[in-house]
A and B are shown apart, each in its own frame.
Chain A
């Protein structure tokens, strides 16, 4: 059976995971291990007037009680947002100071003010409860739409009116003019609900300080350990990079929430030095709800204009984006360059304008969460398209088709240049698979059972890879977004691939090995993937934005090109042939058209023995590459959701969900389908179940699974997943990326289906039974 590109190879890493042999951060035990517990604000907004540690410090097992003044006194820097976004008047964004441990003011429930280091987790936690913090409670606001009002409490002195930036993209005047001349304008107010990430493994950190050479090791739940080391060194001054090793071992899910550097990792490193002990912290689920960066929380009004034939003439969008109490690492980019640049959807739209005001509120910081900006854009565009079709009496599929981009490359008015796609093919494939033609009969049959049946579309496009570096740099990114790889061929021919991508559920140990095994004609078991350790891998930008395939694997291909070139030279020398005649296949390196050959393992041995190498060739067989793509990649597709609503209760069942995706080249269809399933499940979670709710004064009302509804298997149908691909022209494998598409494309399909069923377009996410029932009553 082939194990190469396109093969459904079972995941190599699963034996480890399903037999309980995975090694996660909390499984690590440092020498002289101590444990951290954080003292957290129970108030959404308060002045810290004093901290009394006397009682806590005297408790059993307590090693130290440390606070923010000590932390800043030791020169630990403030937490920063690494992507500079300027307001339309040219002024820089208003980044409020964020210390890992608050010194004078707390700004959300969960904001850390002190940390207890103790001999056991239980002793640390008990002592943390005994730390007495004198708070002067201040007025608080949790809601983005209130943040800009005069009555809202001010969070940061350098952000008047709680405004972080007032940013725009596109031509406002031209868009206004186009809308003024439109034959029809659809106008909607849309809220993209706030979500909590809920990775199965909570965040964790084990900091190990070695006083003898002032060296730190940090085991942590990170999607990008090198970025963590860079930020911890360059901005937080924890230690120079050569004195700080960051290891992200097995990581149980991230969804974006483990990209960022949080107060806890910084504090554990510093506390390890302060106490000369290894310091471990692992969040419990309650702590995860109040510290992991949340996602979404957009409040948007939008207008989409059409000419008399149904062609879109303009789209104007105004969004308020909640960034929470402080600016997290990439928070600024999510509601701007990862959002508004996708507002053209799959459509020819000559005029687009989007204005975004990002605001502070007394809530957990908000940052990238699976899709990051693109689900919000897709939701705006696809809800508008479906609603416009209904208002104009047009078929929603045909309205989309009429406006589809047909020719590539296609320059949108909002930066993105789409490189390839066949949007008709995805729409056709999805419609056939979903049997749209039979829907009317199914709706009638459902009605006979008292059920309201509806069908909704979503034709999504997204941008993956987040590259090239120079382009994102010009947009304000504080990092380059390339990837690195190193391919080490051992003397016996086995291969280790060191990659800067990080696997936390994506199956890289399998898919990355597939492309290497195929290239060199060796077995999958002869290839090992090494990642997640800054001492092993030279550098890497990590895994997010569905970039590990398009960018990470491309770097591996580039390194393999170099290995292959050297192998050809060695084989040509040994076999006394021309390099051009060398063929690598089936575990052999051959001279084409002859019976001359050497085993793959013999090439490695030759390279390392160095007894018979071409003149001037260095011994060894190891090559590395840095790959910086030429463009974003643009996965796209059409999702069709079919629902049945119980009008008595508002309960909605998804009876059919059909996906047709274009991910470019697919390395392992089984893993890609798994990504689609997971993404759709997350999208359905957002559409029907999940919602972070704060009270007006900033208390989190959904702080556990008793109140925050996660999707369960019983909430989901069997997914009908299909693939109609065009090859991405901008990377060597033709990959576009698949990690986020499901979460991006599915929410509008679900809401469009429910609104179709109930005959009321005014339905907010999540479409809980209560929300659907209310919408049914309102339509009566």
Chain B
């Protein structure tokens, strides 16, 4: 790790100020990607702004049918929270399946979506239920937030503060793990919620998380595992690497979509 300055932000304004003035400043939430990258000398922020202690930054509350999840809330908290279990159990089971216990007790929902790893679980879950990402500046619909590999709509001086999820009628997430990393080789979230019937896919797209029109149409017509069986999933635009060809990933999208529907 290169030498750097560590800051513990007291408020969102404080964090934004350091982010603006600092030397290649980066926000630190759970650090589950950033710290590993820094240790490998692949990232070298001069200033590191820890946002975990900011009041209101973590924790979960229910506002009627809407879950409000603080950006610095850990995956373990999401997985174990009773409001999440009641309003959106899909999200609880998704969070319970991220990484391993150590990762889940440090990694945060805000950190995960700000990083927007193309194999991360949350982008598929939040896109499928048409979540809203609340920042220090504005409210961004999930459809506009995720913007390609490791890229989001966030501006340089913008800090995610919470994520809002409205209770879907039904939703489920099914993941096929890459054997080494256990990240999603393909993860599919199916939901019938605020955004209508949606099928969001992570791990497979060569430009990050995406929605699949064919599967959405089939499920909108009939919400059943059988309905997706006949859907053709093309391999165009899918990742191909040592862990899975585009054709294999295309197959897994259809299979995992069916399993998610069966579990919903």
Choose the segment among A240-248, A529-537, A586-594, A767-775 that binds chain B (4+ C-beta atoms closer than 8 Å). Answer: A767-775
Choose the segment among B9-17, B73-81, B88-96, B238-246 that binds chain A (4+ C-beta atoms closer than 8 Å). Answer: B238-246
Residues in A with CB closer than 8 Å to B255 are 648-649
Q: What's the minimum C-beta distance from B106 to chain A, rounded to whole angstroms?
A: 17
Residues in A with CB closer than 8 Å to B243 are 707, 768, 770
**Does B176 count as interface, using CB distance less than 8 angstroms?**
yes
Q: Given A126-B2, A649-B252, do A701 and B242 touch, yes or no (CB 8 Å)?
A: yes
- Is A773 a contact partner of B180 (Cβ separation < 8 A)? no
- Is B40 a contact partner of A773 (Cβ separation < 8 A)? no
Residues in A with CB closer than 8 Å to B179 are 689, 709, 768-769
**Does A705 count as interface, using CB distance less than 8 angstroms?**
yes
- Is A707 a contact partner of B248 (Cβ separation < 8 A)? no
**Does A307 count as interface, using CB distance less than 8 angstroms?**
no
Give the size range of B's interface with the partner.
10 to 19
Q: How many inter-chain residue pairs (CB < 8 Å) link A and B?
A: 44
**Does A702 count as interface, using CB distance less than 8 angstroms?**
yes
Q: What's the minimum C-beta distance from B253 to chain A, rounded to whole angstroms?
A: 11
- Is A286 a contact partner of B40 (Cβ separation < 8 A)? yes
* B interface secondary structure, majority: loop
**Does A235 count as interface, using CB distance less than 8 angstroms?**
no
Q: Given A649-B252, A706-B180, A707-B180, do A770 and B244 touch, yes or no (CB 8 Å)?
A: yes
- Is B244 a contact partner of A708 (Cβ separation < 8 A)? no
**Does A130 count as interface, using CB distance less than 8 angstroms?**
no
A705, closest chain B residue (CB)? B180
- Is A774 a contact partner of B242 (Cβ separation < 8 A)? no
Q: What's the minimum C-beta distance from A373 to chain B, rounded to whole angstroms?
A: 27
**Does B41 count as interface, using CB distance less than 8 angstroms?**
yes
**Does B66 count as interface, using CB distance less than 8 angstroms?**
no
B181, closest chain A residue (CB)? A706
Residues in A with CB closer than 8 Å to B41 are 125, 129
Cα distance, A648 to B1, chains bound together (Å):
43
Q: Which residue of the partner chain, among B2, B181, B251, contacts A705 with CB atoms under 8 Å?
A: B181
Residues in B with CB closer than 8 Å to A707 are 180-181, 242-243
**Considering the complex, which residues of chain A in the window 637-653 have a beta carbon less than 8 Å from any beta carbon of chain B?**
648-651
Residues in B with CB closer than 8 Å to A769 are 176, 179
Q: What's the minimum C-beta distance from B222 to chain A, rounded to whole angstroms?
A: 20
Cα distance, A708 to B248, chains bound together (Å):
19
Residues in A with CB closer than 8 Å to B180 are 689, 702, 705-710
Q: What's the minimum C-beta distance from A44 to chain B, rounded to whole angstroms?
A: 17
Binary per-residue interface labels of chain A (753-780) against chain B in the complex, 1 for a CB within 8 Å, 0 otherwise: 0000000000000001110011000000
Q: What's the minimum C-beta distance from B140 to chain A, rounded to whole angstroms?
A: 29
**Does A392 count as interface, using CB distance less than 8 angstroms?**
no
- Is A693 a contact partner of B242 (Cβ separation < 8 A)? yes
Cα distance, A650 to B176, chains bound together (Å):
11
Q: What's the minimum C-beta distance from A201 to chain B, rounded to whole angstroms?
A: 19
Cα distance, A770 to B185, chains bound together (Å):
11
A286, closest chain B residue (CB)? B40
Binary per-residue interface labels of chain B (159-197) against chain A in the complex, 1 for a CB within 8 Å, 0 otherwise: 000000000000000001001110100000000000000
Residues in A with CB closer than 8 Å to B248 are 650, 770, 773-774
B100, closest chain A residue (CB)? A712
Q: Given A286-B40, A707-B181, do A649 and B176 touch, yes or no (CB 8 Å)?
A: yes
Binding site for A on B (CB under 8 A): 1-2, 40-41, 176, 179-181, 183, 242-245, 248, 251-252, 255
Binding site for B on A (CB under 8 A): 122, 125-126, 129, 286, 648-651, 689, 693, 701-702, 705-710, 768-770, 773-774
Closest 7 A-B residue pairs measured CB to CB?
A709-B180, A709-B179, A706-B181, A648-B255, A770-B248, A770-B244, A693-B242
List 24 contacting pairs A-B, 8 Å CB cutoff, sorted by A: A129-B41, A648-B251, A648-B255, A649-B176, A649-B252, A649-B255, A651-B176, A689-B180, A693-B242, A701-B242, A702-B180, A706-B183, A707-B181, A708-B180, A709-B180, A710-B180, A768-B179, A768-B243, A769-B176, A769-B179, A770-B243, A770-B245, A770-B248, A774-B245
